[in-house]
Chains A and B, each alone.
Chain A
Amino acid sequence: MSEPPQAAPAPEDIQRAKDRRAIEQRRTQSGAGLRMLMLVLGPGVLVFLGENDAPSMLSYAATGAQFGVGFFLPFVVATFAIAWVVQEMAARVGLVTGQGHAQLIYARFGRFWGGFAMLDLVAGNFLTLVTEFIGIRAGLGFFGVAPVIAVGGAIAVMGFAISTARYRRWEQMTLGLALGNAIFLPVAVLAHPSVPAIGHALLSWSPLPGGFKPSSMTLMIADIGATVTPWMLFFQQGAVTDKGLTLRDLRSVRLDILIGSVLAAVIAIAAIVATAPLFAHGISAGNFQAAQFAEALEPYVGHLGAALFAIGIFEAGLVAAITIATASAYAFGEVIGHAHSLNSRLRDGWLFYAVLLGSAASAGALTLIPGAPLEEIVILVNVVATLAMPPALLFLLVMVNDRALMGSARNGVLGNVAGIGVTVFLIGSGLAFGASVVAPGWFN
C-alpha cells in the first residue's frame, strides 16, 4: 500500500476525530459499556431499518396475506441471521481500512470489475429508489396527499437532513425517522393475532401452504432481497468509516448490527402478522399495492390500523430513500475521488450531496409520470437485489480474507463457512427462482 507521508486533514477528518475522541472518553469512564454503545449505535440499526423499506414491507405484507404465518416467520428470522453475517463482514472491512466499499473494490480489483460492481449498485439502487417513492406516494395517498407534494416533501426532508453537513446530526435525524418503522407493531396488535400460533410458527417451521410454486418462489426470493442487498454493504462500510469508527469498536459495532437486525426482524414479522387476516379470510392479495393493502386491511384492523399501515409504508419509503441515496453518493464519491462524507462542508462535498439528492429527485420524478407502469417492479426489485447479491458477496469475501488489507482481523474459518454458505444459499435460491419461471411444471 502507499501511505501518504503527511496528509493535510480535511474538515471531515476533524469531525471524525471529534467523534473518535468522544468514544474514547466514554471508554475510560466507569460503566462505559452501554453509554459507549449509544455513541457507536447507528450504522447497523440504520442499514437494517433502511432495508425494511417500502418494497420490503409490501413483500412481507404480501407474504402474510398469501401464506399466513406458518412457514414464513422462521424463514424471515433466518434471512436476518444471514444478513447479520454479511453486514458484520462489511463493517469489519470499513473499521480496519477506514475506506468505503467502492473505493476498495476499485483499488484491489481494478476498473473492469469495479465497473461491474458499480453497475449492479447504481441500477439496483435507482430501481429501489423508484419503489421507495411509489411507497411514499401510496402511503400519503391514503390520506389524500397529492403525489407531487408527497414526493417533493420527502426530498425536502432529505435536503434538511444533509444540510447540517455533519454525519452525527444526519444519523440522529435519520435514526429518529427510522424508529417510526415500529408503527407496524400496533398494526399487528390491531389484527388480533393468535400469540400461540405465532409462537408455534416460530418454533416449528410449518410446511409452505400449497408447496413450492412459482408464486411462492418469487415471494421467498423477494423476502431474501428484503434483508440482503448490495446497497447495504456500501452503506454499512461507508457509514462506519464516516463515523470515525475503528477496529477498537468492533464489539459495539457487532452489537449495533445485531440490534438493527433484531429490530428489523420483529417489525418484518409484525407486517406479516398484520396482513395474515387476509390469508385467513381467503382474500387474494397477490398483486396488492400499498394503498390497496391498507384498504383491504381496514375491516380487520379498523381505520386506525389501516392509517398506521399507510403511514408505515410512507415512513419505510422515506428512510430507505435517505439511506439508499446516501449509499449511491458514497460509492460515487469514492470512485471519482471527490469528497464523499456527510461530514463534508457543502462547498467541498457539493458533488456528493448533488448525487445524493439528484438520484432521489430523479427517481421521485419518475413516479410522477402519469400512467408509468411502475407498480410491477415493487416486489421484483427485491428479487433483483437477491440475484445481484452473489457477485457482491464474492467481492466482500475476497476483501475480508485479504491479508494485506485486513491483517489479523481477516475472516476465520467460522466466518468463511458462514460467508460462503450464505453465498451458495443465495445462488441456489436464485437458480430455483429461475427454474420456477422457465420450467414452472417442476414446481406443481
Chain B
Amino acid sequence: MDMNASVSEQDAQFFARRRLTVWPRRNLSAGLSLLFWALRIYVVVMLVVVVIVLHRAAG
C-alpha cells in the first residue's frame, strides 16, 4: 500500500477495521416486532391518504 508519509499504517487500519466490522443480527422482541409492523401499516395507510389528497387536487 502506497501510504502517505503523514499517515501511519495504524491510523488507516483503524478506519479499515471500523468499515469492515460485521455486526451480527439482533433478536427483535415480540413487542418491538409489533411496533415495527404497526408503523409499517401506519405508513401504508398514510400513503393512501396522500393519494386521496393528490386525487382531490387533480379533480
Contacts and interface: CB of A to CB of B under 8 A. Distances in A.
Contacts of B49: 433-434, 437-438
A398 B32 contact: yes
B1 A99 contact: no
Given A10-B16, A116-B40, A1 B22 contact: yes
A9 B36 contact: no
Contact of B50 (A16, A104, A120, A387): A387
A17 B17 contact: no
B2 to A, nearest CB: 9
B25 A391 contact: no
B9 A9 contact: yes
A384 interface: yes
Interface string B28-41: 10001001100110
A196 interface: no
Instruction: Tell me the interface secondary structure of chain A in the complex.
Output: helix
Interface residues of B, number: 41
A7 B17 contact: yes
Q: How large is the interface on A (under 10, 10 to 19, 20 to 34, 35 or more residues)?
A: 35 or more
Contacts of A9: 1, 3, 9, 12-13, 15-16
Contacts of A430: 42, 46
Contact of A3 (B4, B17, B25, B40): B17
A387 B15 CA distance: 35
B59 to A, nearest CB: 11
A303 interface: no
Interface stretch (A49-57, A106-114, A133-141, A182-190): A106-114
A411 B28 CA distance: 19
A4 B58 contact: no
Interface in A239-291: 244
B15 A16 contact: yes
A391 B23 contact: no
Given A4-B20, A384-B47, A438-B49, A108 B25 contact: yes
A433 B17 CA distance: 45
A412 B8 CA distance: 36
B44 to A, nearest CB: 10
B27 to A, nearest CB: 10
A108 B11 CA distance: 27
Nearest to A437: B49
A98 B15 contact: yes
A398 B35 CA distance: 11
Most buried by A among B22, B39, B58: B39
Contact of A107 (B11, B16, B22): B22
A17 B14 contact: yes
Nearest to B32: A398
Contacts of A434: 45-46, 49
Given A9-B13, A13-B16, A21-B11, A376 B40 contact: no
Given A387-B50, A391-B43, 8 more contacts: A10-B19, A13-B16, A14-B7, A97-B23, A373-B58, A404-B23, A434-B49, A437-B52
Interface of A: 1-4, 6-10, 12-14, 16-18, 20-21, 97-99, 104, 107-110, 113, 116, 120, 218, 244, 373, 376-377, 380, 383-384, 387-388, 390-391, 394, 398, 402, 404-405, 427, 430, 433-434, 437-438
